[in-house]
Amino acid sequence: MSEVARSITYRLYPNKNQEMKMNHFLDCTRRAYNRLVEICKTRIEHNLGFPSDFDLIRMVTKIRQRNEEMQDVHSGCFHSVAKRVHTAFVRWAKGCKDGAGFPRFKSWKRFDSFKYQINQFSFVGKDGKKGGRERIRLGKIGLLKYRNPYVIKGECKSAVVFRRKIGNHFEWYVSITSVYEGYGKDTTFVDPVFVRKDVGIDLGLENLATLSDGKIIPNDKTYKKKEKSLSKIQRKISECEIDTPDYQKQLSKLTHKYKRVRNHRDDLYHKITRYLSERYSNIYMEELPVKEMVEDSFKGMRKSFSDASWGIFTKLICYKAAEAGNNVVFVNPAYTSQLCSSCGNMVSKDLSVRVHNCPNCGLVISRDENAAINILNRGLRLQTVAGNSLNSHDG
């Protein structure tokens, strides 16, 4: 049994007064965020060293004390701001792979969430009493209605309240992270007979995933259609002059569509990742976004959407595998589609070549399946190395 963290997002239905409070929370925490970024920036410029997260929490507490209007905002949300600033600078300092730049000041448009820590929120009944689940209580905001399709397992650790612009209004959500003991291997819900051992997965755009045993999980058609209509509106927007009524209209259309595509994708991913995570005990994947997504010069949202999709897919598969008592292992992605999975010969091909045809050993196989087998082989080699070093420690 291992500890599993999982997040579930609920739609919130605040009343007018609560929405005003939530906007006030956003405004105050955003100002505190910007103030902390400013302080850190000055310290870095003067070579004074970077404050620890403990220092940042002390600073943010002082900022709150000095501002009358910040008193209505829960102190826990300010502590979370301190952590957020710390994380942003750490990521920048590490020169993260995901290209995290120097933390920037956030405008009203770009600051959309605040966070509660454990015990600063709870599920309660309509009357606010313990034991019920009809309302969620957020510290210093009150009892909120929410849409409640899933029940959370385990102990709730944090709650991130965020808003999304849909057309010309906002929708509010809360994402709750809980921690619980995952299922052991012996209690998985899939008949153990069907659990295969190892699989390599190659993620792509053409097909969502290709497995090393030859199975293909296609991108479904509705999803493709929806994605297409998305890029159509994007094209229209790029033709509009910025900030004209027509531009606003198209933009609002786009956010609506975008939400629907995203929901559809998430739904699909939940099903697929559950299927995979329950059927394979060791899942091997590449540790960076798929080459094709990076190499292909998709523009704007299209590209960021693919990137985001990759992140969501890996996140889902990781926690679902952990729940089922299975493993996900990430391997080095270099040349997985170029190397021959049978003889190791380098067969260079550009993106348009969908078939791997090895002149050395004569293997003819789809490009993606070849990559998936390479990923599997790399994963198996990693496991062997890890196994050997474990054994040598034992001996």
Closer Cβ to Zn ion, 222 or 360, answer by number: 360
Give the pair of three-digit tokens for residue 259. 């939400």
Among 229, 252, 345, 357, binds Zn ion (CB under 5 A): 345
Closest distance to Zn ion from the beta carbon of 212 (Å): 16
β 135-138/113-117 pair status:
unpaired
- Stretch in the footprint of Zn ion (CB under 5 A) among 4-12, 38-46, 211-219, 356-364: 356-364
Q: Is 106 helix (H, G, I), strand (E, B) or coil?
A: coil
**Which amino acid is located at 274 in the chain?**
R
| Runs of H (alpha helix) within 5-52 | 16-45
Q: Work out whether 175 is an interface residue with Zn ion (CB under 5 A).
A: no
Distance CA 295, CA 358 (A): 23
Closest distance to Zn ion from the beta carbon of 111 (Å): 53
Window 305-334: residues binding Zn ion (CB under 5 A): none
**Of residues 161, 50, 152, 57, the one with CA closest to residue 103:** 50
| Residue pair 370/212 in contact by the 8 Å Cβ criterion | no
Among 138, 233, 340, 371, binds Zn ion (CB under 5 A): 340
Closest distance to Zn ion from the beta carbon of 336 (Å): 14
| Residue pair 73/24 in contact by the 8 Å Cβ criterion | yes
Q: Which helix (H) or strand (E) holds 306?
A: helix 300-323
Q: Work out whether 360 is an interface residue with Zn ion (CB under 5 A).
A: yes
Closer Cβ to Zn ion, 177 or 341, answer by number: 341
- Stretch in the footprint of Zn ion (CB under 5 A) among 178-186, 317-325, 345-353, 378-386: 345-353
Q: Work out whether 358 is an interface residue with Zn ion (CB under 5 A).
A: yes
Number of continuous H segments (helices) and E segments (strands) in the chain: 8, 14
Closest distance to Zn ion from the beta carbon of 372 (Å): 16
Closer Cβ to Zn ion, 13 or 335, answer by number: 335
Window 202-261: residues binding Zn ion (CB under 5 A): none
| Residue pair 154/178 in contact by the 8 Å Cβ criterion | yes
Closer Cβ to Zn ion, 199 or 340, answer by number: 340
Q: Is 237 helix (H, G, I), strand (E, B) or coil?
A: helix
- Stretch in the footprint of Zn ion (CB under 5 A) among 1-9, 167-175, 266-274, 351-359: 351-359
Q: Work out whether 26 is an interface residue with Zn ion (CB under 5 A).
A: no
| Residue pair 313/269 in contact by the 8 Å Cβ criterion | yes
Closest distance to Zn ion from the beta carbon of 339 (Å): 9
Among 334, 361, 386, 390, binds Zn ion (CB under 5 A): 361
Give the pair of three-digit tokens for residue 50. 């970077």
Among 7, 219, 342, 357, binds Zn ion (CB under 5 A): 342
Q: Which helix (H) or strand (E) holds 369?
A: helix 367-394
How many residues sit in the footprint of Zn ion (CB under 5 A)?
A: 8
Q: Work out whether 48 is an interface residue with Zn ion (CB under 5 A).
A: no
Distance CA 287, CA 201 (A): 11
Closest distance to Zn ion from the beta carbon of 343 (Å): 3
Closest distance to Zn ion from the beta carbon of 335 (Å): 13
Distance CA 6, CA 85 (A): 23
Residue 362, C-beta contacts closer than 8 angstroms, at least 6 positions apart:
none
- Stretch in the footprint of Zn ion (CB under 5 A) among 83-91, 160-168, 177-185, 335-343: 335-343
**Which amino acid is located at 365 in the chain?**
I
Window 362-381: residues binding Zn ion (CB under 5 A): 363
Interface residues with Zn ion (CB under 5 A) are: 340, 342-343, 345, 358, 360-361, 363
